[in-house]
Structure formats: structure tokens, C-alpha cells
Amino acid sequence: MTDLSERAAELDARDPLAYLRAEFDLDPGVVYLDGNSLGAPPRRVAARVGEVIHQEWGRRLIRSWQETWWTAPERVGEKIAPLVGAGPGQVVVADSTSVNIFKALVAAIRLTPGRDEIVVDAATFPTDGYIAESVAEMTGKVLRPVMPDDLGDVLGDRTAVVLLNQVDFKTGRLYDMAAATERVHEAGARVVWDLCHSAGVLPIELDALGVDLAVGCTYKFLNGGPGAPAFIYVPRRLQESFRQPLSGWGGHRDPFAMTPDYVPDPGVARARAGTPDILSLLALEAALEVWDGVDLAGVRAKGLALTGFFIECVDELAGDTVEVITPRDQRRGHQVSLRHPDARALVPEMTAREVIGDFRDPDVLRFGFAPLYNGYAEALRAARTLADVLATWS
């Protein structure tokens, strides 16, 4: 125990990202380990939103649409682009992840005529599967759920598009984006990556890997706020042929001309649908400023170290009662999932002791580690709290 405490203190003292904790409005007494579900609020968000309401909305009024608001989806997209390995002009912020998956799948199907199967990760976050099922119904395609490890068994010349998660929401497992993308392309199909649990976790190389389309949320490791708008990536090479079904005026080439015909914007803005949700979008923009000057490789290194240290603490303090289901090698995101038959009851017990993780059916405890605001002493305290609660039960 003492050894772990000393190690935690030492690791925190040497943490090159420790200075970023001050950017977040978090109660210092609370160990918040649910940034994989809802990131903590960057301090600058409140001030920025206040300014948007009083000044941009209250004083500039309608003029703000032209001055700064209308193009905010692309502007905020440019702040996300470097976090996912996208060059300029390929990421736009709009709608929710679910809605963007719908756009991406339909657009991908339109790029693959003559093919009739939609392959979807069977272990996916449910909304991806629900949306894929609806797309299959609307386009007359067949839905093929498959465990990611068995992808090779189903790919073929019937495959139109494959929807995959880079990090599994339940186990925290990280999949090999390069290998899977290559396999899908070898089958002549298109791949759509869901980055919800990986954006802000590790360097992602969408452009370099030739990914077709990607979507992701901004309220987990990007800290954009509850339900903050999602993003969608459409690489330049596909923009001209990208035709998505939610063709609202937001994606029009000249929205304010208000012509009766829909003519999509030549660039990534064609992935927009309706009027952008400005308060949430500009809150997200402020939240993303925290990433300025932050090296993703360093974030990744700390995330692996933090989750590794947490696994070590759990092994030592509670290893005989809980099972670590997250990979112990580097094939993981920044979340550690533990299995325990009473997981559902453990979460509120730990929360009562101010250590916040979450629960997923039927028996999974999840602890997300955000390198921007979590530290090693917090990892140790979480493991110790878990062990303490379990001890009171035995």
C-alpha cells in the first residue's frame, strides 16, 4: 500500500500534463472517473457561454449569424481535425452521433452500388446498431452484425459498408484501425469508424489510413458538455460524391439564397443538416481550446500509464474479487472495465465515497481516465475505495 502511495505521488510529481487539471472546474475532493461518458467542464466554458448569450445573442442579435455563427460548425470542426488526424476542410460539427451515423451509412451505401450488406460491430454501442438497422430497412439492405474479431468471415463482394467502433464502450478494448480499414477496402467496401470512445484518447490517423467516413461525439474525452454536438469526417476525395439524406439548408451551397433546389456545399459542410445549435457548439469550441498545444502522444502515454497503474492497484488491492476485462496490453482506450457480480450496487457505494465511475449491464464497472485532469493518486484512491467497499461486504 505504502509502496503504491509513494509510486502514485512520484508519478503525479513527474506528470507533464498535471498543469492541465487547473483548467477544469472539478471539486478537488472528488475522484471523477467517468470522463469516458461525460467529460468534466473546462473552466473557460462558462465564461464563454455567458459572453455568447449577453453579447453575441443579446447585443449583436441576428447579425451574429453572419458574423460568427453560421460557419461555426466548420470552424469547430477544424479544432477537432488535428485530434483525429484529418487535414483541413474535412471535419464538421453537427447533430448527434446517432444522426451522423445515419448520414454516413446512407452516404456510404450510395458509394457502393450493387452491394447489399451493412456489416456492423455486434458489440457496438447500441445506438450504432439501431441506426444501422433503420438504414438497412430504408435502403433495402441486409444487416449483418459481427464480432469485430470475426470481420474476415463476413466481408465479401456483397459488403457495402462496415460500421466499427475504435474502442469498445463496455470493455475498453482498442481495435486496430489500420488493419480493419485495410481489410474492408480489400473487400471493395467502405468503412465508417465510430470514434466516440477514442477521440481525445490517442493519436488517430484518419487521413493516413485512408478511412472513408468517421463520426464521433464530443462530450466524452473532448469535454464539450452534456450532449454537445457530434462531428463527422468526410475526406476530400469523397466529398464530391458524398450524398447524405438529411439535406437540410445547413448543407446547402448557398443557404441564404433560399432557392427551391438543394445544391450541396462543395466541401464538408454538405454533411450539415439544419440550423446549428449555437450555444452548445460555442461551448464546445471553448472546451476544445484546452487542447491547444497539447501533444496527443503525451496524452496517450499518460492514459496508458494511468490505466496501467490503476489495473496494478486493483490487482493488488482487490484482485481476488474483481476481474479486469480490459486488455492489459496496449490494446485499450483510457477506460478500465472490471467485472463483479454486484457491480450495479458497487457504483453508488463508491460514489458515496466520492469516487465516480459507472455501471453497464449486466456486471461491468467502468472507470475512465482522462489524462487532462486525472492523476495517479486518484487511480490509487479509486482502487482502494473499491477494495474498501468490497471488504465491508465480505
Which of 5, 71, 112, 134 touches a second copy by CB under 8 A? Answer: 134
Residue 293's closest CA among 68, 23, 50, 99? Answer: 23
Find the radius of gyration of the CA atoms of the chain. Answer: 22
61 versus 297: smaller Cβ distance to a second copy: 61
Closest to a second copy by CB, 213 vs 317, is: 213
Q: Look up cell 449569424; give the residue.
A: 65
Contact criterion met (CB below 8 Å) for 184 and 190: yes
Where in 87-116 is the site for a second copy (CB under 8 A)?
95-99, 102, 106
Q: Which of residues 11-40 bind a second copy (CB under 8 A)?
A: 25-27, 30, 32, 34, 37-38, 40
Is residue 194 a contact partner of residue 97, using CB atoms and an 8 Å limit? yes
Q: Which of positions 264-283 make contact with a second copy (CB under 8 A)?
A: 273-281, 283
242 annotated binding-site participant: no
Considering only residues 58 through 87, tell me which ones interact with a second copy, judged by CB under 8 A: 58-59, 61-65, 69
CB of 301 to a second copy, least distance (A): 26
Smallest gap from Cβ 163 to a second copy, in A, equals: 14
DSSP state of 300: H
Alpha-carbon torsion 314, 319, 321, 322, what sign?
positive
Question: Is 176 annotated for ligand binding?
Answer: no
Q: Please say if 219 is a catalytic residue.
A: yes
Give 67's contacts (C-beta < 8 A, 6+ positions apart): 56, 60
- How many other C-beta atoms are found inside a 10 Å radius of the C-beta of residue 158? 16
Q: Least distance to a second copy from the beta carbon of 149, Å?
A: 17
Among 201, 222, 166, 175, smallest CA distance to 298 is for 201
State which of positions 203-232 bind a second copy (CB under 8 A): 217, 219, 225-230
Q: Which is nearer to a second copy, 122 or 345 (CB)?
A: 122
From the list 102, 175, 219, 310, the catalytic residue is 219
Q: Does 337 bind a second copy (CB under 8 A)?
A: no
Number of residues located near a second copy, criterion CB under 8 A: 83
d(CA 246, CA 262): 11
Coil, helix or strand at residue 355: strand
Q: How far is the CB of 27 from a second copy (least distance, A)?
A: 6
Least distance from C-beta 144 to a second copy, angstroms?
A: 13
Among 360, 363, 377, 388, binds a second copy (CB under 8 A): 360
Q: How many CB atoms sit inside 10 A of residue 16's CB? A: 10
Q: For residue 262, how many C-alpha atoms fall within 13 Å in the half-sphere facing its CB?
A: 14
| Cell triple for 174 | 482498442
Q: Which positions make up the binding site for pyridoxal 5'-phosphate? A: 97-98, 125-128, 194, 197, 219, 249, 275
Catalytic residues: 125, 194, 219-220, 366
